[in-house]
Chain A
């Protein structure tokens, strides 16, 4: 049996979603606008999209690009960020570079990248890669910088070489911070994925969405927004589970009884 408190906590997100859909439904009925379908109409369009083989292929293509862009970005950014955090020379070299790239919207680089690499997978994956890299580099950098010097000294006394200290002390010690960056990166991957497909239309979830918009199929537009949103929520929830498991040693204990009443 679940206690009422636990039950409420579990049910809360579901209730929030139902509430949101209800507000949408009422607003849509009240406004009576062609470009604002009701929630029921939008939800009804979802099975049509997911049941259509071409649409499904498009969505899976998007997810594949996102996974590759995110994966490569994480693999490159974590070592770079950690090195920057522990070596002033590396930081002095890359910091100005990143400061220039940081405020530029990655989608704004797309025209140039398209010019060089075309409108295919490579361009879109590269934009996702760029979007994910910066938060992951930044958080890895901050995490590595904050590693206690004495912890590294303790490792050095045990005979760990500088490279071993980076992998076996800096990496795990900075992991909570790194994973915070990865979580931001994951959401940015989704955003840049849709943006890239909006600019370079050809395939993908963003392509379905904006094609539907062009053709005035507003229920499909809203259904795609729900699908993309649900993808984001699911990916974030899965990632959060993995993250919590990996850094359990650093989490404050919320489940400690605060009172014994």
Chain B
């Protein structure tokens, strides 16, 4: 490993492998020998083609999936299951459809014993922060995809997880909504700089958001390279798109993926 062990490591992934059984009863190696350290307060993207196991890696950190071998640790303690210190945001939103926007956002704090009045006040503030003031009493089915994902983000932020686990959160949204949510996510993140683990297959998205991009390749899922994104913050989209350093990161990463495709694909 080239990077030295940082003192402020919050998540350590240590030689994690994941084997799935396919329907044909054959073993499929989804993740092979992954080791990765994530520093506290960093915005880290896991970037790779579909099927490279990047979401599985996120689920292992979340404690939703147990790795076949190896281990993941949160602040030095082995991850054995889900917990409120790691808050997921899924591509599918996974809102509680029988709860209103406010009900969804209050759910976690209420579960943790926060008094109703207090949870409601915090919930309303969060809903305003994600730009949904006025929609407190709407049900999820009445909202657009972008609005649903804003609710999902607020619902997770409401119980103050130390790490945000975002699983292609903007993958189901149209391009315009996607860029708006990326901007808003960065603005929210700038306030308290929580650790974020962000899974995506979009190179622009990964470079725009992250301090560090973990490039993965598939079959089996491996880490190819970890790239530090050395761009100033706070980042503004309109400035960044014109910045040659940003463009260089995007072009280089895309080129690396293209090369591996050509080498691996039997065209």
- Chain A positions within 8 Å of B, measured between CB atoms, are 148, 150-151, 153-154, 156-160, 169, 172-173, 175, 247, 249-250
Q: A159-B83, A159-B112 are in contact. Are A169 and B96 (CB under 8 A)?
A: yes
Q: Does B161 contact A (CB under 8 A)?
A: yes
Contact between chains at A159 and B111 (CB < 8 Å): yes
Q: Give 19 pairs: A residue, B residue, CB < 8 Å, sorted on A.
A: A148-B94, A150-B90, A151-B94, A154-B88, A154-B96, A154-B155, A156-B82, A157-B62, A157-B83, A158-B84, A158-B107, A159-B84, A159-B111, A159-B112, A172-B96, A173-B97, A175-B98, A247-B98, A249-B141
Contact B98 A153 (CB under 8 A): no
Complex Cα distance, B84 from A160, in Å, reads 10
Chain B stretch 66-100: residues in CB contact (< 8 A) with chain A: 81-84, 86-88, 90, 92, 94-99
| In the A-B complex, the 6 residue pairs with the closest CB atoms | A150-B94, A156-B82, A158-B108, A172-B98, A150-B90, A157-B82
Across the interface, do B86 and A154 meet the contact criterion of CB distance under 8 Å?
no
Residue pair A158, B112 in contact (C-beta under 8 Å): yes
Whether A148 pairs with B86 at a CB distance below 8 angstroms is no
| Distance of A158 Cα from B107 Cα, bound (Å) | 8
Chain B residue with Cβ nearest A172: B98
Mask, B233-249, CB within 8 Å of A = 1, is: 00000000000000000
Q: Are B111 and A157 in contact (CB under 8 A)?
A: no
- Decide: A157 and B97 in contact? CB cutoff 8 A: no
Residues of A within 8 A of B112 (CB): 158-159
Contact of A157 among B88, B99, B140 (CB under 8 A): B88
A150 and B88 CA atoms in complex are apart in Å by: 9
**Contacting pair A157 B161 (CB below 8 A):** yes
Cβ contacts under 8 Å, A158 to chain B: 84, 107-108, 111-112, 159
B96 touches A173 (CB 8 A): yes
A171 nearest CB neighbor, chain B only: B98
Q: How far is the CA of A156 from the CA of B111 in the complex (A)?
A: 11
Q: Which of A148, A153, A160, A249 contacts B111 (CB 8 A)?
A: A160
CA distance A148 to B82 in the complex (A): 16
Question: In chain B, what residue has the closest Cβ to A251?
Answer: B141
Q: B155-190: contact bitstring with A at CB < 8 Å (1 yes, 0 no)?
A: 110010100000000000000000000000000000
* Bound CA–CA A153/B140 (angstroms): 18
CA distance A97 to B108 in the complex (A): 39
Residue of B nearest to A152 (CB): B94
- In the complex, which residues of chain B have a beta carbon less than 8 angstroms from the beta carbon of A154? 88, 90, 94, 96, 155-156
Chain A residue nearest in CB terms to B104: A154
CB neighbours of B98 from chain A (8 A): 172-173, 175, 247, 249-250
Min C-beta distance of B110 to chain A, whole Å: 9
Q: Is B20 at the interface (CB under 8 A from chain A)?
A: no
B257 close to A (CB within 8 Å): no
Instruction: Pick the residue among A150, A157, A247 that contacts B86 (CB under 8 A).
Output: A157
| Contact between chains at B90 and A250 (CB < 8 Å) | no
Complex-state Cα separation, A179 to B159, whole angstroms: 32
Nearest Cβ in chain B — how far from A244, in angstroms?
Answer: 14
When chains A and B are docked, how far (Å) is the Cα of A142 from the Cα of B95?
A: 20
Question: Which of A153, A157, A173, A175 lies in contact with B84, CB distance below 8 A?
Answer: A157
Known: A154-B156, A156-B63, A157-B156. 10 other contacts (CB 8 A): A148-B92, A150-B90, A156-B64, A157-B86, A157-B87, A159-B111, A159-B112, A169-B96, A249-B140, A249-B141
Q: Name the residue among B94, B140, B159 with the largest chain A CB count within 10 angstroms.
A: B94
In the complex the two chains form, is A153's CB within 8 Å of B88's CB? Answer: yes
B82 touches A153 (CB 8 A): yes
Check: B139 CB closer than 8 A to any chain A CB.
Answer: yes
- Chain A positions within 8 Å of B155 at CB level: 154
Shortest C-beta distance, A170 to chain B (Å), equals 11
Q: How far is the CB of A139 from chain B (nearest CB, A)?
A: 17
CA distance A148 to B91 in the complex (A): 12
Distance A155 CA – B139 CA, assembled complex (angstroms): 18
**What are the residues of chain B within 8 A of A159 when measuring CB–CB?**
83-84, 108, 111-112
* Contact indicator B81/A156 (Cβ below 8 Å): yes
Max chain B Cβ within 10 angstroms of own Cβ: one of A158, A173, A250: A158
- When distances are taken between beta carbons in the complex, the residues of chain A under 8 Å from B96 are 151, 154, 169, 172-173
In the complex, residue of chain A having the shortest beta-carbon distance to the beta carbon of B91: A150
Bound-state Cα–Cα, A157 to B96, Å: 14
A250: B residues at CB distance < 8 A: 97-98, 141
Q: Is the CB of B92 within 8 A of A150?
A: yes
State in angstroms the CA–CA spacing of A250 and B82 once bound together. 28
Within the complex, the shortest CB–CB distance from B89 to chain A, in Å, comes to 9
CB-nearest residue of chain A relative to B167? Answer: A150
Nearest CB of A to B248, in Å: 36
How far apart are B135's CB and chain A's nearest CB, in angstroms?
Answer: 14
